[in-house]
Amino acid sequence: MTKITTLKDWETDQEVRWCPGCGDYAILKAVQRTMPDLGVRPEDTVFISGIGCSSRFPYYMETYGFHTIHGRAPAVATGTKLANPDLDVWIITGDGDALSIGGNHTMHLLRRNLDCQLMLFNNEIYGLTKGQYSPTSREGTHSPSTPYGSVDRPASPCAFALGAGARFVARGIDVHKGLPDVLKAAHAHKGTSFIEIFQNCIVYNKDVFEEFAAKKTAADTQLHLVDGEPMLFAKGAKGITLNHKTLQLEVVDVADGDWEAAGVIVHDVTNRSVAHMLVEMQFGEFPMALGVLYDDPRPTFEAAVVAQNEASSVGKTPDLQALLNKGQKWTVDEKDGPEL
């Protein structure tokens, strides 16, 4: 891609209003840094968001931006993209916005496969409303609305996405240097690209991802998936294999770098069955899978709509008078009587 812009071209003059130290700053920088590499123009780019801390994002991008209402960004984006398929549409949402109030729209966006990037900032908490537990909060989360701990089980964003029919599922961490690569892969994918980003809410849910996000222990706790590469972590000392009896993934030790002997799986981003297992891998028993978990494009929604609109218009002229004249008519003449 030719760079037609620089980072500066993507920064607005707006005062950023996130809490100091919020993970959102890192994500904003990663996006602004990535945009010049995509070879796209700010005027063709639209950021559409719902409601929540994450959804202030469009104000800080020097592009077209639409800060909509809670949970509905996917639906607004669908209308925008159908009206102008040439636009490059990014949806910015959070765990409450995308999976609670807007869960329905997220599901249908994914199943229809509108060409756009959906960045779900997951901080496992409602930040803007001052700290209530969210649909991704872990069981037992203490919050103003759950002073004795939450009792409902959390949703798994990537498993939800895949179940809804997503053709691109990726994971990243707000401050992780690998985030721009994930964004580039998402942008390159034609169809809905679903990206879950672990985002640190330093006020209401500080360091909730520390177990796997901490740099010190990252080698042992993170599995960085690369298409065509073996699923190795812990500096190559461990890997992910498939137990052929239980048909489940397992962590195996890799001796002397011989991952093939250990049966470590080579990541194939188009393998949907493995993708289902990757999104279900529970952290603790497994490392946290990061990067592009699944990427297998299918025709997009807007392309199908445009094709049908064109096909069903072939040979027809948009003649308004003819439309009004349809059906059986009769004429009333000056002499006040009908003529068939």
Partner 1 sequence: MATALKQDDQGGGPAGNAENVVVRFAGDSGDGMQLTGGQFTLSTALAGNDLATFPDFPAEIRAPQGTLFGVSAFQINFGSRVIETAGDQPDVLIAMNPAALKTNVQEVRPGGLVIADEGEFGKRNLDKAHYDSNPLEDGSLAKWKLLKLNISQLTLDAVKPFGLGNKEALRCKNMWTLGLALWMFEREREPVIKWLKEKFAKLPEIANANIAALNAGHAYGETAEISGDGLGGGHLPTHRIKAAPATPGVYRTVTGAEAISQGLVAGAQLAGLPMFFGGYPITPASAILHHLSRLKEFGVTTFQAEDEIAAITAAIGASYAGSLGITSSSGPGIALKGEAMGLAIMTELPLVIVNSQRGGPSTGLPTKTEQSDLYQAVFGRNGDAPMPVIAARSPGDAFECAIEAVRIAVQYMTPVMLLTDGYIANAAEPWKIPDVNTLEPFPVSFQETMPEGGLMPYGRDEKLARPWIKPGTPELMHRIGGIEKGLNTGHIDYGPANHQAMTEIRRDKVLGVADSIADQELAYGKPGAKLAVVGWGSTFGPIHQAVLRASEAGADVSHVHIRNIWPMPKNLGDLLKSFDRIIVPEMNTGQLKTILRDQFLVDAKPVNKVSGQPFTIGEVEAAIQEALA
Contact 255, 234 (CB under 8 A): no
Dig out the tokens for 97 from the structure. Answer: 């916005």
Q: For residues 110 and 184, what is the distance between their CA atoms, to the nearest angstrom?
A: 19
Instruction: Report the 10 Å Cβ neighbour count for 237.
Output: 15
Tell me the window of 186-194, 207-215, 234-242, 319-327 that interacts with partner 1 (CB under 8 A): 319-327
User: Which residue number, 228 or 318, has a Cβ lying nearer to partner 1?
Assistant: 318
Tell me the window of 119-127, 148-156, 265-273, 323-331 that interacts with partner 1 (CB under 8 A): 323-331
Tell me the window of 26-34, 150-158, 164-172, 325-333 that interacts with partner 1 (CB under 8 A): 325-333
Residue 65 touches partner 1, criterion: CB under 8 A: yes
Tell me the window of 21-29, 129-137, 154-162, 324-332 that interacts with partner 1 (CB under 8 A): 324-332
Q: What is the CA radius of gyration of the chain?
A: 24
User: Which residue number, 102 or 135, has a Cβ lying nearer to partner 1?
Assistant: 102
At 328, the amino acid letter reads Q
Give the shortest CB-269-to-partner 1 separation in angstroms: 28
Q: For residues 115 and 186, what is the distance between their CA atoms, to the nearest angstrom?
A: 10
Element (H, E) at 38: helix 23-38
Residue 243 touches partner 1, criterion: CB under 8 A: no
Residue 169 touches partner 1, criterion: CB under 8 A: no
Interface with partner 1: number of residues (CB under 8 A): 63
Please identify which residue in 43, 207, 210, 227 interacts with partner 1, judged by CB under 8 A: 43
What letters, b where the CB count within 10 A reaches 16 and e where it falls short, cover 96-112? bbbbbbbbebbbbbbeb
Give the shortest CB-267-to-partner 1 separation in angstroms: 33
User: Which residue number, 215 or 329, has a Cβ lying nearer to partner 1?
Assistant: 329
User: Which residue number, 285 or 336, has a Cβ lying nearer to partner 1?
Assistant: 336
Dig out the tokens for 155 from the structure. Answer: 């949703």
Residue 46 touches partner 1, criterion: CB under 8 A: yes
Give the shortest CB-106-to-partner 1 separation in angstroms: 10
Tell me the window of 128-136, 188-196, 257-265, 302-310 that interacts with partner 1 (CB under 8 A): 302-310
Please identify which residue in 29, 67, 190, 276 interacts with partner 1, judged by CB under 8 A: 67
Q: For residues 51 and 71, what is the distance between their CA atoms, to the nearest angstrom?
A: 7
Give the shortest CB-156-to-partner 1 separation in angstroms: 21
Instruction: Report the 10 Å Cβ neighbour count for 57.
Output: 27
Q: Which of residues 76-135 bind partner 1 (CB under 8 A)?
A: 76-84, 86-87, 104-105, 107-108
Give the shortest CB-24-to-partner 1 separation in angstroms: 16
Instruction: Report the 10 Å Cβ neighbour count for 194.
Output: 31
User: Which residue number, 13 or 285, has a Cβ lying nearer to partner 1?
Assistant: 13
Element (H, E) at 252: strand 248-253
User: Which residue number, 246 or 321, has a Cβ lying nearer to partner 1?
Assistant: 321
As a three-state string, the secondary structure of 290-313 is EEEEEECCCCCHHHHHHHHHHHCC
Residue 340 touches partner 1, criterion: CB under 8 A: yes
What letters, b where the CB count within 10 A reaches 16 and e where it falls short, cover 148-187? eebeeebbbbbbbbbebbbbbbbbbbbbbeebbbbbebbb
239 Rama class: left (phi>0) / alpha (psi -120 to 50) / beta: beta
Residue 282 touches partner 1, criterion: CB under 8 A: no
Interacting residues toward partner 1 by CB under 8 A: 12, 14, 41-44, 46, 48, 51, 58-59, 62-69, 72, 74-84, 86-87, 104-105, 107-108, 305, 308-309, 312-313, 316-318, 320-321, 323-334, 336-338, 340
